[in-house]
Every structure is written in C-alpha cells, then in structure tokens.
Amino acid sequence: MSLVELSAQADASFDRIPIIDLAQVSTHNPDIIRVLAKQVRDACMNVGFFYVKNHGIPEGTIHSALSASKDFFSLPLESKLELDMRKNNFKGYNPVLSSNNDPENRGDLHEGFEFGWEDLVAKPSVDEGATARSLAANVWPSDAPGFREALLEYYHAAVNLGKSLFPLFALALDLPADFFEDKTKNSAALMRVLHYPPQTGPVDDRVIGIGAHTDWECFTILWQEPEIQALQVLNTEKRWIDAPPIPGTLVVNIGDQLSRWTNNVFKSTVHRAINRSGVRRYSIPLFFGTDYDVRLEPIPSCVSPERPPKYEVVTAGDYVKERLKATYGH
C-alpha cells in the first residue's frame, strides 16, 4: 500500500501519544530498524507526536541546562532585556507576552532565550555555513556564569539525537536512509529555554503559556519539567489530549517543514501549553530543521492524482523567517 493510501486511512482521533524505544537506533540489524521506522511512520501519520525513551542524553546534561536556565531567568529584567531578541535578529531573550503564537489570543505567558548552532569549545567567527545554520550569531549573557556552556552541551546532545532520527523518518517515507543527509549539512537547529510563570487568579483563556500553534521546522525534541502537566495536543475531534512528562523520555513532534515536504502525509499537529499548576515550569525545545536553502518540494511518493500538492514551494529559511515575523511582530 502506498504512503498516500496509508495516509488516507490514518486516524488522528487519538487519545494517547505512543512511546518509541530508541535503545537500538544505532543497530545495523535491518529488521530492527524496519520495526522502528514503522513505529515512527504510524506515529507521524496518526498523531504527529511521540515520546522517545533510551534517547541517550545523560540526565546530568539535562539537569545542568535546567539549573543554568533557572539562574538566567532569575536575573533582573533589565539585564535580560539587554539581549532582547527583537534587537538581535531573533536570537537572545524574549520577555513575557512578547510573542503570540495564536492570533486569537493576547500573548504567550512565558519568557524564553533562543540560540542556534555554535561550537562548544570556542565561539566561531561567522562563516559560510552560518546563514544556513541560523538567522544570526548567538548572543549570551555576561552575568550568568556557565549558562552558555551548559546550554550548548545539551544543545549538541539533542542535535546528535535529531541526526539519529532523520534516517528513521526517511525509511518511514520509503526513502533511502540517507535522504536527508545532504539537506541537513549545516544543522539548522534552534533551541529555546522557556520559563512559564504560574498562571494564577481568574482564568483568562486568551492568555496562556503558549497559544495553539504548530511548530515550523522538520521536528521538535522537547524536554519538559517532570510532574507538571502543561502540554496538550489537539486531535481531529477537536479534543485536547494531555501530553504529560514521562520520566526518562523526551517528546518528538512533527513540524511544518516536514509536513509540507510530505504533502501532509506526516502531520504537524496543533498543540499548546497551559501552566495552571501554581508553580513555575521550565521546558527546553530543540527545533530541528533542514538547511535554510532547501526547497520544500513535495516528496513524489506523497503525491497522487487524488492527493495533489497542497502547498506553494518555498525555501525552508524563508518559511521560518515569515513565521518568526508573524509570531514576534517584526
């Protein structure tokens, strides 16, 4: 059965998000990889979200990134605003309510810090790959010791995990395992650390942690703070399904680039975050995209006379830039 036929049968009225075990993601056993690829295919077609366990990122690396993030967000607002991302081509700090992912809402109740590729050992000068990797050079706080090092250590670990997922996505689409390799040479991956203040007082459904939206890149790898429920995923019955933190797992969800590439065979599913736990919440998403000069033309196996191309062809970079402008108003 073709991918288009399988997609037509896909059921997105899900009430749970599957868990995929990556313990053998590096095996050379084709039978094991085939099973993994099928699990990924089913999750991407039916849900657009899945958890991964045995993902290979040490807990100590995650803990260090979280601790450094808490230190940064505890700085005075005027210190953080020196790195306002609206002045730095979308790198650096964004204050509470400065973004609005859902046009129906009045703002996102979180603050964040965004950065992209950078060598961990030494800050690189701008090179030919810099534009393909990100929109601008990173900026870092001078009054948060160890922040850059802790965040970049986690960033590189998450990027390596993302690279291990691309062959599974390719095989899930009946493509050669190395299909994405020449399209992700410059690691167009952006990471954000997010702090959600507790949402207390009268409930205002037009101001929540992050409004309903889809992600923009190929896929997202998300760490979310344990024991605090906030992430919700929308199914086709328009029901919000909780995606609670599960110990030892990360959340992976499909973004718009991969959805456009697959002509919606893989689903970029609407989701949101609401922190009504009464306590602060932290999360760290890595948005892993293709190189910015890659044209998002539909994969031939995802197109048929019954399923013609759904999107205008654009480059990955142009798509991300337009979404950034729409979200942050610049």
Residue 97 lies in a domain: no
Question: SS in 3 state form for 155-173?
Answer: HHHHHHHHHHHHHHHHHHC
Residue 267 lies in a domain: yes
pLDDT at 131 over 90: no
pLDDT confidence of residue 322 = 85
Any idea how long the chain is?
A: 330
Q: Average pLDDT of the chain?
A: 86
CA 75 to CA 79: how far, in whole Å? 7
Least confident among 24-28, 123-127, 290-294: 123-127
Residue 57 lies in a domain: yes
Phi, psi dihedral angles at 241 (to 5 degrees): -105, 125
Residue 132 lies in a domain: no
Q: For residue 48, what are the domain limits? A: 3-75+144-183+214-328
CA 327 to CA 254: how far, in whole Å? 19
Residue 127 lies in a domain: no
* DSSP helix/strand/coil, 211: strand
pLDDT confidence of residue 268 = 93
Tell me the two tokens of residue 65. 């990134």
> Any bridge partners for residue 189, and if so which?
288
Residue 201 lies in a domain: no
Share of the chain above pLDDT 90, in %: 60
Residue 110 lies in a domain: no
> How far is residue 134 from each of residues 137, 159, 194, 202, 242, measured CA to CA in Å?
7, 14, 19, 39, 32
The radius of gyration computed from the CA coordinates of the chain, to the nearest angstrom, equals 19
pLDDT confidence of residue 151 = 97
pLDDT confidence of residue 286 = 97
pTM (two decimals): 0.89
Structural domain total, the chain = 1
Residue 103 lies in a domain: no
Share of the chain above pLDDT 70, in %: 84
**Do the Cβ atoms of 243 and 17 come closer than 8 Å?**
yes
Nearest CA to 155 among 140, 175, 170, 169? 140
Q: Burial code of 208-243, b = ≥16 C-beta within 10 A, e = fewer?
A: bbbbbbbbbbbbbbbbbbeebbbbbbbbeeeeebeb
pLDDT at 213 over 80: yes
pLDDT tier, 320 (very low <50, low <70, confident <90, very high otherwise) = confident
pLDDT at 259 over 60: yes
pLDDT confidence of residue 250 = 98
pLDDT tier, 126 (very low <50, low <70, confident <90, very high otherwise) = very low
Q: Domain with 238 in it: what CATH number?
A: 2.60.120.330
Render pLDDT for 167-206 as a digit per residue (tens, 0 to 9): 999 999 999 999 999 998 876 799 999 998 876 655 555 4
Nearest CA to 233 among 264, 254, 257, 262? 254
Higher-confidence residue: 99 or 20? 20
Other Cβ atoms less than 10 A from the Cβ of 25: the count is: 19
> Which runs of consecutive H residues, i.e. helices, occur in the chain?
3-9, 30-46, 59-73, 77-81, 130-133, 147-172, 256-261, 316-328
> Checking DSSP bridges between strand 207-208 and strand 107-108, what pairing results, if any?
parallel
pLDDT tier, 317 (very low <50, low <70, confident <90, very high otherwise) = confident
pLDDT confidence of residue 167 = 95
3-state percent breakdown (helix, strand, coil) of the chain, nearest 5: 30, 20, 50
Q: What is the dihedral of CA 5, 7, 9, 13, to 10 degrees?
A: -170
**Do the Cβ atoms of 109 and 207 come closer than 8 Å?**
yes
User: What integer is the mean pLDDT of 13-40?
Assistant: 92
User: What integer is the mean pLDDT of 245-271?
Assistant: 95
Nearest CA to 302 among 159, 132, 163, 179? 179
Cα-to-chain-centroid distance, residue 291: 15
User: What integer is the mean pLDDT of 222-228?
Assistant: 94
